[in-house]
Amino acid sequence: MIRIANGSAFWGDSAEAPLDLLRGGPLDYLTLDYLAEITMSILQKLKARDPRAGYAHDFVGVIKRGAKDIVERGVKVVTNAGGMNPVGCKDAVAAVLQAAGYGGRIKIGVVTGDDIMPQLDQMLESGIPFTNMDSGEPLSAIRARVQSANVYFGAFPIADALCRGAGIVITGRCNDAALALGPMVREFGWKAHDWDRIAAGTIAGHVIECGAQCTGGNCQADWESIPDIANIGYPIVEAEPDGTFVVTKHAGTGGRVNVAGVTEQLLYEIGDPKSYITPDGIADFTTIRLEQRGPDRVRASGIKGRAATDQYKVSISYSAGFKAVGTLAYSWPDAHKKARAADKILRQRMDRLGLELEAIHSEFVGVNGCHGEMSGEPANDIAEVVLRIGARAMEKAPVERFLKEIIPIALNGPPSVTGLNSGRSKVDEIIAYWPALIPMTAVAPQVDVASV
Amino acid sequence: MKIQLVKIAHARSGDKGDDANIGLLALKPQDYPVLVREVTAERVKKHFAGICRGEVERYELPNLLALNFVLHHALDGGGLVSLRMDNQGKTYGAALLRMEIDVP
């Protein structure tokens, strides 16, 4: 049995969780996921400004603080913190380890090759259309606006790095679940065609990839009774060579691991549950059996899988215009009426200005901001309502003009209003996401392992 | 008798591009068949009228006493494109729990 934890669900997750996992009890592997769909485009911009940047630098802090546990106890670390610059990330981590006196005592593995931006035009010319999986459009429609293009690699490059002695593995874009599946492939000697076990390891990775969302965080079932959320433990999978696993957390931590919470996470961000496709195989969620095996222990078994497809998924980001959002808080009396009046007045002013906006969207926070029309009518004496109004356009200028029109309405519109953050609102570039496929034969991961 | 889904189910939701998905789970095993019978893809599409601009697909996971709903074009473009406060559909699971269904 090996223990694999996940201490980061996204870039910006708890800075303490990775350290708490390292120090809170027995552990073999610590995985850290930093990459959401849009993170790569942000990292691409950082790299364009500074060629040494472009990775999730929070990870360097984790290594700095956790170096003793990682090097001396031998807890292995697997992360996609490399983002757009895995080599740069490796250099920064190596520098930190050398400064701490651990030079020559640990190897770092780096997985590259996922960044296909430099070859994108050549690939298009060779006949790979990168058709949008949602809309069916060919990439040529937005080629000039593409900012990044990365292949999602699977678990085997990670396992390869571990086999070659890496104590830390840094990847660029890869399948989230691969961070946990890679160590299982390495430790248990699973083969690429062990489809059931590959599926089981993928599902184990899927359960923990969102961190505390499987240990009581963001859990709807009986949420008020979940103990000590302030001290919530991040998840650990106890993986067995036969593909069964137990989801748990360190003793003495808060939160809860039960069947209801793990099931919520199993269904998080999935499509057809019979065909959960990763680069390593296809997992069938309708075969999972869950059972409570003692406090904060949920066992999964029975998982079946099928053969992988012959394509990798590609995540392409592209520039898609500009947007801005402003907020105005109206108080009792007539809070909702005033907010609605302000919305109407603002729209009349936008009309008069003739701004070329693609969309204006208004929500009344406290009334219908989350659930729209299904929220129903608020009480007449509602204490306060926030008008949240946003606009979007291909050009920046009309969005800037829109934003300038919001603050004045505090003085030239309905009464008893305060600004929240509208004074600080800014125009954001919209980075849109273009999911596509690429034949596996068109690209190859590269694995390098070297001593610090 | 009409009850709100929140009495017999829990849910979690998230995003994939411009699509949202909602996992709907029975709190007790005996209520799973009620969810299967009452919470159809058509009813969910109607429930999210004005929010979901595309089709709704439903998948059954009897092993987990759960249904998975995929709501296409439900996020105003999704991610950074969306102008909505809930640009990732994080509260859509709770929104589904508002639905009123018939129970014997």
Cβ of residue B18 closer than 8 Å to a chain A Cβ: yes
Fold for the domain defined by A316-434: Alpha-Beta Plaits (3.30.70)
The chain A residue lying nearest B87, using CA atoms, is A370
The answer to whether the Cβ–Cβ distance between A359 and B97 falls below 8 Å is no
The chain B residue lying nearest A327, using CA atoms, is B85
Q: Give me the residue from A325, A372, A433 closest to B51, CB to CB.
A: A372
The answer to whether the Cβ–Cβ distance between A287 and B80 falls below 8 Å is no
Structural contact between residues A249 and A234, judged by C-beta atoms closer than 8 angstroms: yes
Polymer length in residues for chain B:
104
Where in chain A is CATH 3.30.70.120?
316-434
Cβ of residue B3 closer than 8 Å to a chain A Cβ: no
Cβ of residue B51 closer than 8 Å to a chain A Cβ: yes
CA distance A409 to A97: 55
Q: Which of A142, A224, A267, A299 is the best mutation test for B, with the most CBs of B within 10 A?
A: A267
Cβ of residue B1 closer than 8 Å to a chain A Cβ: no
The answer to whether the Cβ–Cβ distance between A432 and B77 falls below 8 Å is yes
Domain span at B71? 2-102
Q: Where are the extended beta strands (E) located within A211-264? A: 236-239, 245-248
Contacts of B15 in chain A (CB under 8 A): 269
Polymer length in residues for chain A:
452
| Strand duo A298-301 + A289-292: pairing | antiparallel
Contacts of A320 in chain B (CB under 8 A): 81
A182 CB-near residues (< 8 Å, 6+ apart): A78, A155, A156, A157, A158, A159, A162, A169
Cβ of residue B31 closer than 8 Å to a chain A Cβ: no
The number of folded domains in chain B is 1
CA distance B72 to A187: 40
Q: Is A236 helix (H, G, I), strand (E, B) or coil?
A: strand
Q: A20: distance to nearest CA of chain B, Å?
A: 26
The chain B residue lying nearest A387, using CA atoms, is B85
Of A36 and B46, which is predicted with more confidence?
B46
Contacts of A175 in chain B (CB under 8 A): none
Q: Give me the residue from B25, B61, B84 closest to A260, CB to CB.
A: B25
pLDDT tens across the length of chain A (452 residues): 999 999 999 999 999 999 999 999 999 999 999 998 778 888 988 998 999 999 999 999 999 999 999 999 999 999 999 999 999 999 999 999 999 999 999 999 999 999 999 999 999 999 999 999 999 999 999 999 999 999 999 999 999 999 999 999 999 999 999 999 999 999 999 999 999 999 999 999 999 999 999 999 999 999 999 999 999 999 999 999 999 999 999 999 999 999 999 999 999 999 999 999 999 999 999 999 999 999 999 999 999 999 999 999 999 999 999 999 999 999 999 999 999 999 999 999 999 999 999 999 999 999 999 999 999 999 999 999 999 999 999 999 999 999 999 989 999 999 999 976 655 689 999 999 999 999 999 999 999 999 99
Q: Which two tokens stand for residue B42?
A: 């058509």
DSSP state of A356: -
The answer to whether the Cβ–Cβ distance between A320 and B79 falls below 8 Å is no
Residue B49's alpha-carbon distances to A223, A359, A378, A429, B89, in angstroms, are: 28, 19, 20, 29, 14
The answer to whether the Cβ–Cβ distance between A286 and B78 falls below 8 Å is no
The CATH number that applies at residue B73 is 3.30.70
